[in-house]
Amino acid sequence: MDNQPDIAAGRLPESAYAENFGDVHPPLDRKAALVESSRCYFCYDAPCIEACPTGIDIPSFIRKISTDNVRGAAQDILQENIMGGACARVCPTEVLCQEACVRNTQEHKPVQIGLLQRYATDAVMEAESHPFTRAEPSGKTVAVVGAGPAGLSCAHRLAMLGHDVVVFDAKAKAGGLNEYGIAAYKVPDDFAHREVDFILEIGGIEIRHDQALGKDIALAELRRDYDAVFLGMGLGGVRALNLEGEDLPGVHNAVDYIAELRQSDDLRSLPVGRKIVVIGGGNTAIDIAVQTKRLGAEDVTLVYRRGPEAMSATHHEQEFAQVNGVKIKHWAQPRQLRGAHGRISDVVFEYTQLDENGRLAGTGDAFSLPADMVFKAIGQAMLPLPQANGASDLLEMDGERIAVNEQRQTSLPDVWAGGDCVKISQDLTVAAVQDGKLAAQSIDSFLRG
């Protein structure tokens, strides 16, 4: 009986789902925003601006909030980061702008920049008119691959600059990870979809769905048919553990389950195990661990092979998981996934440590964790590369990802790339937005050359 999997839907009373998957950080109302904005010192050469990958003039937008100039505030944000609304919700501000806030030095309590950014962008997204207009038509058309943060940011900036854009996306919905990959409680109320609609209001952007690069479209064709190409298709693949038992039923890719959860109309119908094991140390690992817990899983254990400081999930995210009842075990790596009755039953881990050369090594001691479901979240990888599909020239790579210069231009003069599929990106929504913006500016110079 012990090894019978316990997987069930509807573990919680109906009302719990709305609460568990509603807004994790409720928005500021006007009064709270005025008080919080008054805490900003309006620093000269403000460190927060430098810490923002998109370089938003944070003191300026906060000052505008403090004078009820919310439109001006949103304009400051969105002109540097058209997905300022998403970033206000999903950015790890604790390691970006808010870490740089001088109030940390003074009182360990930064200005709540993320929440203020959301206050301003929410107000403008609810307004009727789009805050930007397009330049005179250039007569040029650019192909953008991927309707995630990088692609949409690039498309929006190109449209502003007067170019027409056709966006090709492999999925049925635009938004990329904001739509399919980020924890539901960070972007509730169909926010990702609403943001896409907001971005498209500028005009001149056409999105074609179910168009995967290398399958339905080829880079060579795009280069032939369009004046320039931007690649922002993210990382379509998932890393494997390469361990015995990995294909047992009950072993899932975290990103697949999160996508299913995000697209579900009724979270009560989503089956979840009683005992969950998550393998990995990034935001996806945290997101799957917390979301399964919030779906009603009883024991969720996240296992990471190194210590807390090496996790790519921030300290704040780790603490959030722990507050949600997720147990985090450090210094252990999976060795075997064992089955019973044709399903996963437990995972064998080996303790790890750093050897004298500072390399990770197993100690030889092992333990096992029972699991009804196992989620792999050890990172994503590039799908096989587009040039296999008819590109005449080779796209230069940097390791597994596409090599680009500062302007996000690839080795092909008419092809730019950004977001998770390029090497220099930080795997953050905000970094992807910056890539798209920089690429669009470079493409514009190229087209007007």
The helix/strand/coil state of 317 is: helix
Q: Which residue in 8, 13, 55, 106 binds another protein (CB under 8 A)?
A: 106
Q: Which residue in 46, 82, 326, 404 binds another protein (CB under 8 A)?
A: 46
Q: Which residue in 4, 38, 263, 445 binds another protein (CB under 8 A)?
A: 38
Nearest Cα neighbor of 207 from 134, 155, 276, 278 is 155
Phi, psi of 263 (to 5 degrees): -95, -5
Q: Which residue in 10, 27, 47, 362 binds another protein (CB under 8 A)?
A: 47
Which of the ranges 43-51, 297-305, 322-330, 389-397 carries the binding residues for another protein, by CB under 8 A?
Answer: 43-51
The smaller minimum CB distance to another protein, of residues 42 and 367, is found at: 42
- Is residue 43 involved in binding another protein (CB under 8 A)? yes
Q: How far is the CB of 42 from another protein (least distance, A)?
A: 7
- Is residue 45 involved in binding another protein (CB under 8 A)? yes
The smaller minimum CB distance to another protein, of residues 113 and 254, is found at: 113
The smaller minimum CB distance to another protein, of residues 67 and 353, is found at: 67
Please work out the total of residues on this chain that contact another protein, with binding judged by CB under 8 A: 15
Q: How far is the CB of 407 from another protein (least distance, A)?
A: 24
Q: How far is the CB of 39 from another protein (least distance, A)?
A: 9
Q: Is the dihedral of CA 386, 388, 390, 396 positive or negative?
A: positive
Q: Tell me which amino acid residue 101 is.
A: C
Q: How far is the CB of 61 from another protein (least distance, A)?
A: 17
- Is residue 34 involved in binding another protein (CB under 8 A)? yes
Q: Which residues contact 77 (CB under 8 A, 6 or more apart)?
A: 56, 61, 84, 117, 120, 121
Q: Which residue in 44, 172, 323, 358 binds another protein (CB under 8 A)?
A: 44
- Is residue 41 involved in binding another protein (CB under 8 A)? yes
Nearest Cα neighbor of 48 from 59, 39, 64 is 59
Nearest Cα neighbor of 47 from 106, 132, 134 is 106
The smaller minimum CB distance to another protein, of residues 110 and 175, is found at: 110
Which of the ranges 34-42, 149-157, 357-365, 396-404 carries the binding residues for another protein, by CB under 8 A?
Answer: 34-42
**Vertex 43: Cα angle to 106 and 56 (nearest 5):** 115
**CA distances (Å), 276 to each of 258, 308, 333, 376, 440, in order?**
14, 20, 16, 11, 43
Q: Which residue in 7, 102, 259, 385 binds another protein (CB under 8 A)?
A: 102
In this structure, the chain runs to a length of 449
DSSP H helical ranges for 127-190? 149-160, 177-180
Which of the ranges 35-43, 86-94, 194-202, 279-287 carries the binding residues for another protein, by CB under 8 A?
Answer: 35-43
The helix (H) or strand (E) run that includes residue 279 is strand 275-279
Taking phi over 0 as left and psi of -120 to 50 as alpha, with beta for the rest, 136 belongs to: beta
DSSP assignment letter at 217: B
Q: How far is the CB of 56 from another protein (least distance, A)?
A: 18
The smaller minimum CB distance to another protein, of residues 44 and 126, is found at: 44
Contact positions with another protein (CB under 8 A) in 57-76:
66
Q: How far is the CB of 137 from another protein (least distance, A)?
A: 39
Return contacts of 308-317, CB within 8 angstroms, 24+ apart: 310/281, 311/281, 311/282, 312/281, 312/282, 312/283, 312/427, 313/281, 313/282, 313/283, 313/285, 313/286, 314/92, 314/94, 314/95, 315/94, 316/92, 316/94, 316/95, 317/92, 317/283, 317/286
Q: Which residue in 8, 35, 310, 366 binds another protein (CB under 8 A)?
A: 35
| Binding region for another protein (CB under 8 A) | 34-35, 38, 41-47, 66, 102-103, 105-106
